[in-house]
Amino acid sequence: MTKKKDLSYFTVTDNGKETEYEILFTFESEDTNKKYIVYTDNEKDKDGMIKTYASIYEEDGKMLKLSKIEDDKEWNVVEKLLNQATEETNKEE
What is the per-residue pLDDT for 18?
92
pTM of the model: 0.79
- What gap in Å lies between CA 35 and CA 25, rounded to an integer? 11
Contact 65, 77 (CB under 8 A): no
Residue ranges of domains in the chain: 2-92
Distance of CA 30 to the CA centre of its chain: 18
pLDDT tens column, 22-67: 998 899 988 888 999 999 999 999 999 889 999 999 988 878 899 9
Among the listed residues 59, 83, 69, the one whose alpha carbon sits nearest the alpha carbon of residue 32: 69
